[in-house]
């Protein structure tokens, strides 16, 4: 938006839902609107900064609690961390039917990390973007309207897709590890339709491959889009409420209380689906 141009409601919403971008164009590093012609290799620096920062915060808190853990009467933070660990461990025991030392730490990391990223949705929508605009204007001479800051990484489809792709790679890896390359290929080509007649079975291979490939690929898509859609919608409602002036305060409180359930539930769903998908990939029932 040009300097001095009036900020409309649609412009306000678009500004809050736009990531801070960095890319290279003709060998030069450029930012934000100049990245519209950069194509695929555009970095969303706010998503990267907040997600990495929250990941480091998660590691620091849990490491500090582990180092200070005592067998006596635990502190409140230690009790909370132990409750989270036990909650995740119980779900892994009940859901994952294979044997792997990776699943429980992975599930704990996903649950806490996604929860922390979702929790940023409760920060007032105008506070940090306005602060970023003030910093840009004060120290770098930038137009505040051209300074962007999205603080909820899970409202960025690139972040949720990256998490889902990581789970998808693990699914493929566990399938090949448990069943072998030949077993993985058989799973894709000989199910769900099969026949004792070798000719008929060969004719069924293309249909099986199509159905199994769709079922396999749909899993990371569902992971990424479910998390992104719920958090993006929640953020959009916060922005719309914030645009109505002082009357926003009671509405913000009501929506924030409800949204706490969404924040926790979406972290739990992402964790549980990850465990379920990896359990299915680790099973050797065929």
The per-residue pLDDT for range 190-219, each reduced to its tens digit, is 888 888 888 888 898 999 999 999 999 999
Q: Is 226 a catalytic residue?
A: yes
Q: Is the pLDDT of residue 3 over 60?
A: no
To the nearest whole number, what is the mean pLDDT of the chain? 87
**Within 13 Å of residue 63, how many CA atoms lie on the same side as its CB?**
6
Q: What is the pLDDT of residue 1?
A: 44
Q: Is the pLDDT of residue 2 over 90?
A: no
Per-residue CA distances from 251 to 16, 17, 126, 147, 254 (Å):
19, 20, 15, 27, 5
Q: Is the pLDDT of residue 27 over 80?
A: no
Among the listed residues 91, 226, 279, 283, the single catalytic one is 226
Q: What is the pLDDT of residue 176?
A: 93
> Starting at the edge strand that comes first in sequence, how are the strands of the sheet with 28-31 ordered?
28-31, 21-25, 43-44
DSSP 243: T
pLDDT digits 0-9 by tens, 134-147: 888 888 777 777 88
Could you give the percent of the chain with pLDDT greater than 90? 48
pTM: 0.89
- Domain positions in the chain: 47-135+154-282
Number of other residues whose CB lies within 10 A of the CB of residue 231 = 26
Q: Is 196 a catalytic residue?
A: no
Q: What is the pLDDT of residue 37?
A: 66
Q: Is the pLDDT of residue 246 over 70?
A: no
- Residue 268: which of 233, 218, 226, 232 has the closest Cα? 226
Find the range with the poorest average confidence among 149-158, 190-199, 260-269: 190-199
Do you know the residue count of the chain? 286
User: Residue 217 has which token pair?
Assistant: 């690929």
- Which of residues 154 and 3 earns the better pLDDT score? 154
Among the listed residues 36, 64, 194, 222, the single catalytic one is 222
Question: Do residues 131 and 144 touch, judged by C-beta distance below 8 A?
Answer: no
Q: In sequence order, what DSSP letters do the residues of 60-126 get, joined into one string? A: HHHHHHHHH--SSS--HHHHHHHHHHHHHHHHHHHH--S--SSHHHHHHHHHHHHHHHHHGGGS-TT
Find the range with the poorest average confidence among 39-43, 58-62, 154-158, 206-210: 39-43
Among the listed residues 19, 208, 230, 282, the single catalytic one is 230
Q: What is the pLDDT of residue 193?
A: 85
Find the range with the poorest average confidence among 27-31, 245-249, 281-285: 245-249
pLDDT digits 0-9 by tens, 73-126: 778 899 999 999 999 999 999 999 888 889 999 999 999 999 999 999 988 877
Q: Mean pLDDT highest for which of 32-41, 66-75, 116-125? A: 116-125
Q: What is the pLDDT of residue 285?
A: 56
Q: Is the pLDDT of residue 5 over 70?
A: no
Q: What is the pLDDT of residue 220?
A: 93
- Residue 266: which of 80, 46, 116, 150 has the closest Cα? 116
CA distance 196 to 205: 13
Sign of dihedral through CA atoms 264, 227, 157, 210? positive
Q: Is the pLDDT of residue 150 over 80?
A: yes
User: Residue 191 has which token pair?
Assistant: 């199910």
Q: What is the pLDDT of residue 245?
A: 66
pLDDT digits 0-9 by tens, 160-170: 999 999 999 99
Mean pLDDT of 58-76: 86
Task: Please calculate the CA angle 226-227-230 and round it to the nearest 5 degrees.
Answer: 80
Question: Do residues 169 and 223 touch, judged by C-beta distance below 8 A?
Answer: no
Q: Is 230 a catalytic residue?
A: yes
């Amino acid at each position: 938006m040009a300097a001095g141009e009036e900020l409309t409601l649609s412009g306000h919403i678009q500004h809050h839902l736009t990531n801070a971008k960095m890319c290279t164009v003709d060998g030069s590093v450029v930012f934000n609107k100049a990245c519209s012609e950069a194509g695929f290799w555009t970095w969303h620096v706010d998503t990267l900064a907040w997600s990495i920062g929250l990941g480091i915060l998660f590691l620091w808190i849990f490491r500090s609690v582990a180092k200070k853990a005592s067998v006596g009467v635990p502190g409140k933070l230690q009790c909370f961390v132990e409750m989270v660990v036990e909650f995740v461990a119980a779900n892994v025991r009940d859901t994952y039917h294979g044997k792997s030392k990776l699943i429980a730490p992975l599930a704990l990391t996903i649950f806490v990390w996604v929860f922390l990223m979702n929790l940023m949705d409760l920060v007032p929508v105008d506070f940090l973007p306005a602060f970023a605009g003030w910093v840009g204007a004060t120290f770098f001479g930038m137009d505040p309207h051209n300074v962007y800051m999205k603080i909820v990484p899970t409202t960025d489809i690139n972040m949720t897709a990256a998490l889902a792709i990581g789970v998808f790679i693990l699914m493929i890896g566990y399938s090949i590890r448990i069943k072998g390359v030949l077993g993985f290929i058989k799973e894709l080509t000989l199910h769900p339709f099969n026949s004792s007649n070798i000719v008929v079975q060969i004719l069924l291979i293309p249909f099986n491959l199509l159905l199994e490939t769709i079922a396999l690929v749909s899993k990371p898509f569902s992971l990424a889009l479910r998390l992104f859609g719920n958090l993006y919608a929640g953020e959009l409602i916060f922005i719309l409420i914030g645009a109505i002036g002082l009357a926003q305060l009671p509405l913000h409180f009501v929506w924030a209380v409800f949204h706490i359930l969404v924040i926790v539930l979406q972290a739990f769903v992402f964790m549980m689906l990850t465990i379920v998908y990896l359990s299915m990939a680790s099973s050797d029932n065929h």
